[in-house]
Amino acid sequence: MSQKQMKEAFVSNLNGTSVLELTLGLSFPAFCILCRGLLIIFLHHLCSFSHTWRTQFLIDLVVLIFPMMFTLTIMASFISFNYLIVLICGTGLFYQIYQRRTCCARVPFQKIFEKFLKISLESEYTPAISCYRVVNSIFTAIAILAVDFPIFPRRFAKTELYGTGAMDFGVGGFVFGSAMICPEVRRKYVEGSRLNYLRKSLYSVWPLVFLGIGRLVIIKSIGYQEHLTEYGVHWNFFFTIIVVKLITSLLLIIFPINISWIVAVSITVLYQVFLEFTPLKKLILYGTDGRGTRVGLFNANREGIMSTLGYVAIHMAGVQTGLYVLKNRTCIKEWIKVTCCLLLSGISLFISLYIVQVNVEAVSRRMANLAFCIWILASSLILLVCLLLSDIILSFAKFLVKGAVVSCSWKIIQSPTSKKQSKSPVSEAEKNEVSLCLITAVNRNQLIFFLLSNVTTGLINLMVDTLHSSTLWALFVLSFYMFMNCLVVYVLNLKGKIIKFW
């Protein structure tokens, strides 16, 4: 068996893990982000710790990147212990901040909290959505290389037919995250005719066409290992995003944007009906001849082509979520209500997932069926809830320390004792904090970060025998890989460079 065949076999025929384990793992970064914010407040605003780009980058690596990497590798079986460490660190930091607070120093906690509920927040920016997209990007970057090493648990790899693996969340999470901030949600194309809007949508996908074809040519020319049942012979992630973008743009021209959830439910339910009561399922699994051959364009790429229906439904649900979350809100009480509403929605979806898996069909990434769509939406909402909860706690910590600044979190724009909005006296500090933030750096150059991760993953696989690597060597390679990828986008952010292709 060749090295390529061995690597393909290493990531094939897997069945995933439990939904609970994945939900806990996916939500873990939200609390790492909270600890990061509390640490920044404690060090920079209470201890006058040196605030340079090197120290900030080191903090982000140690508190954000490495814990996520360990959660997917050597600490994967100890998720409860991971949460315990984060809880102890977060509680200790919050206690220190509360004890050294510069606001309401002699006021009881209940009175402080009542004042906090009256503050106003910056309404034009929702940090939880940016953090959601960054978390998904970082998890994906770690997983696409780690999966080739023995230290990556096989239960986290992509499933063959049915089941839930950590890597199965990647594309669905990306589609959901992109939908929440798509031009339709942000009302970017409100002016002009619908035809003009469609033209702009068509134009916006040309870089993805170039990237999809480029990836196909490179993979085939160097004989790189592939998981055939993921998308097929020629199809890849970029082609899925292109088709989803074009179909959803057309749907949002035909249907009002505020009924996107109805469109999402209709598509995924009808798709599942066809899977159950027509030969469609056999067609996806075994091809037109029933023997699983890859002869012909459709047979060669049947998984990638048909699964786009599920991703279209996920995108439409993401549009509806974005419309709700990005509404203009300033009061902290309103954001607490939003968090509770999303939590109830997530729990309801998990209950629906259980019912569907028991009575209809299990989760299948390969088909992107009804259960898969529900799982992606439920997991995404729970992650979003955890990020919003972290933002609320971090805002409370910033409220306790006058002048505290943490990037990728809400800015307090109104004091509890004044109804007038005033310009922040720490605008320069805010600018500095944003430029030193790894989350902002990845968010601003997500496509570059994704491409860089894919290229370096390919190079490492060509140079390193990943299948027979020891634990220490694998951790060193992964750490160096993430360090370099993060450093590139970090430096781009320091230089104020945002690389876009449209």
- The residue among 487, 158, 176, 497 whose CA lies nearest residue 319 is 176
pLDDT given at position 319: 96
Question: Are residues 7 and 58 in contact, defined by beta-carbon separation less than 8 angstroms?
Answer: no
- The residue among 405, 401, 412, 424 whose CA lies nearest residue 105 is 401
> Token pair of 492, please?
């781009």
pLDDT given at position 38: 94
Q: Which residues contact 115 (CB under 8 A, 6 or more apart)?
A: 104, 107, 399, 416, 417
> Token pair of 339, please?
């968090």
Vertex 467, ends 465 and 472: CA angle to 5°? 80
Pairwise CA distance, residues 82 & 101, whole Å: 28
Which residue type is seen at 139? F
Q: Which residues contact 295 (CB under 8 A, 6 or more apart)?
A: 287, 289
Q: Let me know if 24 is exposed, middle or buried by CB neighbors in 10 A (0-12, 13-18, 19+).
A: middle
Instruction: Please report, in tens digits, the pLDDT of each residue of the chain (502 residues total).
Output: 677 778 777 888 888 899 999 999 999 999 999 999 999 998 887 776 667 888 889 999 999 999 999 999 999 999 999 999 999 999 999 999 999 888 877 888 888 888 888 888 887 788 999 999 999 999 999 999 999 999 999 999 999 999 999 999 999 999 999 999 988 888 765 555 667 777 777 777 888 888 889 888 988 887 777 778 888 889 989 999 999 999 999 998 889 999 999 999 999 999 999 999 999 999 999 988 888 888 889 999 999 999 999 999 999 999 999 999 998 888 899 999 999 999 999 999 999 999 999 999 999 999 999 999 999 999 999 999 999 999 999 999 999 988 888 888 888 875 544 444 444 444 555 555 566 789 999 999 998 999 999 999 999 988 988 988 999 999 999 999 999 999 999 999 988 888 765 5
Place of tokens 């082609």: 239
- The residue among 171, 186, 180 whose CA lies nearest residue 129 is 180
Pairwise CA distance, residues 15 & 346, whole Å: 24
Q: Count H helices, E strands: the chain?
A: 22, 2
Give, for 440, the enclosing helix (H) or strand (E): helix 438-444
Collapsing DSSP to helix, strand or coil, 17 comes out as strand
Pairwise CA distance, residues 53 & 440, whole Å: 13
DSSP assignment, residue 234? Answer: S
pLDDT given at position 322: 94
Collapsing DSSP to helix, strand or coil, 152 comes out as coil
Pairwise CA distance, residues 246 & 366, whole Å: 21
> Token pair of 383, please?
């992650």
Q: Which stretches within 292-369 are classed as H helix?
A: 297-300, 302-325, 332-359
pLDDT given at position 433: 59
Q: Which residues contact 310 (CB under 8 A, 6 or more apart)?
A: 268, 271, 367, 368, 369, 372, 373
Pairwise CA distance, residues 451 & 211, whole Å: 9
Pairwise CA distance, residues 467 & 473, whole Å: 12
Pairwise CA distance, residues 82 & 175, whole Å: 28
DSSP assignment, residue 102? Answer: S
Residues 304, 306, 310, 313, CA torsion sign: positive
pLDDT given at position 430: 59
pLDDT by residue (tens digit) across 427-447? Answer: 555 555 566 789 999 999 998
Pairwise CA distance, residues 206 & 450, whole Å: 17
